[in-house]
């Protein structure tokens, strides 16, 4: 209705204008050079109007021709955007449905239509991974890392790939880079901590450790790795303060103190740890600087001064006394150990060595040595470092179990860990 009214008003206006033009009186004369024009006023007015209309149409035509390429580009871009968005949606659906071929095809189409944007690159990478084309995915992730706003996505993708192929060194470097790009990613910190352990980068593993991490073991390992003297000493002290019963911590700290020329303090640390938890490695470290058997025996007595009757103290004293030619003392301590009921190879080997060093060529001495050798062959094995998670024995302490990769699971023990205990430990880890 409104349109009808407007059309009527427009028609009335045109009719009024036509009537007005038609009613114009007089004529219009123009002299242009040798030409003379003369026309009635309505005709002249109509000619002027037509001329204006023609000029207007001509300008519009020129504009249309001039702006044609730009219009074409806009049109093409709009069309690509529409079809590209459609391809993105289809690729997402195919990814969610696990349809490999469709996902790759639609992701490729989206890239062709929309270019290498963060979305299309991520889609192409994920579609490549879904289709088992790791090289294709890696190339797309690498392109993503070059985009400042989307670099984290690319690094995260490359990190996942490195972890899947168990390239821990590369994964660790990528995690570090990803955290520098996006420091707020909490999961990345955990990932970095785990990767630092896997790559045995103990200084970083300790720095990234959470409250439940075995800090003494990590710090002891880090102290052994540190090249800076001050940092090494600091880490070793930290390890020992965290757990004074861990031989590796006491030994690491003592070694750093010795390197710093503080032998008395080193001995004090080792003695304290020996008092809390005697271990043959501590005794070996304590006696290491000494070569003279008499000095070693005196040192063994100093080390075991506060717990001389402990089984390990007696074994250390017996071995040092034997080396120093104090056979009575050696035998006294060995017999005391035997009286406790210990039936380990190291005890019988020690007793055989004492009998051998006795030098008396009596039948009784030869019998005693033979008995000790026989008992050594059938005795229980000596204690070793053993993983509480997988039960594998190790000849030396490691911060992680070389067999199963668990952190701080090695314990000094003789009895093999039962399967149920190992399973419990594995579940808890």
- Give the binding site for Zn ion (CB under 5 A): 387, 389-390, 401, 403-404
Q: How far is the CB of 172 from Zn ion (least distance, A)?
A: 21
CA–CA separation, 286 vs 316, rounded Å?
Answer: 11
Shortest Cβ distance from residue 218 to Zn ion (Å)? 17
Nearer to Zn ion, 194 or 254 (CB): 194
Contact 385/217 with Cβ under 8 angstroms?
A: no
Q: Which is nearer to Zn ion, 22 or 411 (CB)?
A: 411
Distance separating alpha carbons of residues 316 and 175, to the nearest angstrom: 47
Separation between Cα atoms, residue 427 and residue 429, nearest integer Å: 5
Provide, rounded to whole angstroms, the least separation between the CB of residue 198 and Zn ion.
14
Residue 147 or residue 413: which is nearer to Zn ion going by CB? 413
Q: How far is the CB of 388 from Zn ion (least distance, A)?
A: 8
Is the CB of 59 or the CB of 429 nearer to Zn ion? 429
d(CA 181, CA 185): 10
Structure-token pair, residue 267: 């001995």
Of 419, 413, 425, 399, the closest CA to residue 197 belongs to 399
Residue 68, token pair as written in the block: 């044609």
Q: Which is nearer to Zn ion, 324 or 387 (CB)?
A: 387
Minimum Å distance from CB 131 to Zn ion? Answer: 37
What does the DSSP 8-state code read for residue 418?
P
Query: Which residue's entry shows tokens 């880079």?
Result: 177
Which of 178/387 has CB closer to Zn ion? Answer: 387
Q: How far is the CB of 226 from Zn ion (least distance, A)?
A: 26
* Residue 279 to residues 20, 199, 218, 286, Cα–Cα distance (Å): 122, 29, 20, 11
Task: Tell me how far CA of residue 217 lies from CA of 220, 235, 244, 426, in angstroms.
Answer: 5, 11, 11, 18
Q: From the CB of 168, what's the least distance to Zn ion, in Å?
A: 17
User: Helices (H), strands (E): how many in the chain?
Assistant: 21, 5
The Cα 313–Cα 271 span in angstroms is 11
Considering beta carbons, is residue 39 or 404 the nearer one to Zn ion?
Answer: 404
Closer by beta carbon to Zn ion, 171 or else 389: 389
Inter-residue contact 383 to 373 (CB < 8 Å): no
Is the torsion defined by CA of 67, 68, 71, 76 positive or negative?
negative
Comparison of 313 and 409: residue with beta carbon closer to Zn ion: 409
Q: Helix or strand or coil: residue 293?
A: helix
* Distance in Å, CB of 422 to Zn ion, minimum: 8
Q: To the nearest whole angstrom, how small is the minimum distance from the Cβ of residue 409 to Zn ion?
A: 5
State the Rg of the chain over Cα. 45
Residue 66: both structure tokens together: 């001039």
- Minimal CA–CA distance to 154: which of 143, 163, 165, 164? 143
- SS3 state at 279: coil
User: CB-wise, 239 or 387, nearer to Zn ion?
Assistant: 387
State the DSSP code for 278: -
Structure tokens at 94: 């195919």
> Among residues 273 and 407, whose Cβ is nearest to Zn ion?
407
Q: Residue 190 Cβ, how far from Zn ion at the closest point, in Å?
A: 21
Q: Shortest Cβ distance from residue 200 to Zn ion (Å)?
A: 15
The C-alpha angle with vertex 300 and arms to 299 and 304, in degrees rounded to 5, equals: 115
């Amino acid at each position: 209705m409104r349109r009808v009214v407007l059309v009527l008003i427009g028609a009335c206006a045109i009719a009024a204008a036509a009537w007005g033009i038609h009613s114009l009186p007089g004529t219009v004369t123009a002299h242009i050079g040798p030409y003379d024009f003369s026309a009635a006023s309505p005709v002249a007015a109509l000619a002027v109007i037509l001329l204006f209309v023609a000029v207007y149409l001509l300008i519009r035509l020129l504009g249309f021709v001039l702006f044609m390429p730009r219009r074409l580009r806009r049109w093409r871009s709009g069309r690509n955007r529409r079809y590209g968005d459609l391809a993105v949606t289809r690729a997402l659906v195919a990814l969610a449905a696990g349809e490999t071929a469709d996902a790759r095809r639609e992701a490729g189409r989206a890239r062709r239509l929309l270019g290498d944007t963060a979305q299309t690159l991520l889609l192409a990478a994920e579609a490549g991974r879904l289709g088992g084309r790791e090289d294709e995915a890696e190339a797309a992730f690498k392109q993503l890392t070059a985009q400042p706003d989307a670099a984290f996505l690319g690094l995260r993708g490359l990190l996942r790939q490195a972890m899947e192929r168990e390239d821990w060194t590369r994964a660790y470097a990528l995690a570090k880079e990803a955290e520098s790009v996006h420091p707020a990613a909490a999961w990345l910190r955990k990932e970095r901590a785990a990767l630092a352990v896997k790559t045995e980068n103990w200084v970083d593993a300790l720095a990234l450790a959470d409250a439940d991490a075995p800090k003494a073991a990590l710090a002891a390992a880090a102290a052994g790795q540190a090249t800076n003297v001050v940092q090494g000493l600091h880490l070793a002290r930290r390890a020992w303060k965290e757990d004074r019963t861990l031989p590796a911590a006491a030994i690491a700290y003592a070694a750093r103190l010795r390197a710093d020329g503080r032998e008395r303090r080193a001995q004090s640390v080792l003695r304290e740890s020996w008092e809390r938890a005697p271990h043959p490695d501590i005794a070996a470290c304590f006696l290491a600087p000494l070569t003279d058997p008499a000095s070693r025996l005196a040192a063994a007595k100093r080390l075991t001064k506060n717990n001389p009757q402990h089984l390990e103290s007696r074994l250390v004293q017996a071995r040092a006394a034997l080396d120093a030619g104090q056979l009575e003392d050696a035998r006294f301590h060995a017999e005391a150990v035997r009286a406790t009921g210990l039936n380990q190879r190291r005890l019988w080997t020690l007793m055989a060595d004492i009998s051998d060093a006795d030098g008396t060529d009596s039948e009784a001495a030869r019998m005693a040595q033979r008995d000790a050798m026989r008992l050594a062959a059938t005795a229980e094995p000596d204690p070793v470092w053993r993983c509480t998670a997988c039960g594998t024995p190790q000849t030396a302490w490691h911060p992680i179990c070389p067999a199963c990769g668990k952190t701080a699971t090695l314990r000094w023990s003789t009895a093999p860990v039962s399967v149920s205990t190992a399973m419990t430990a594995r579940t808890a880890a």
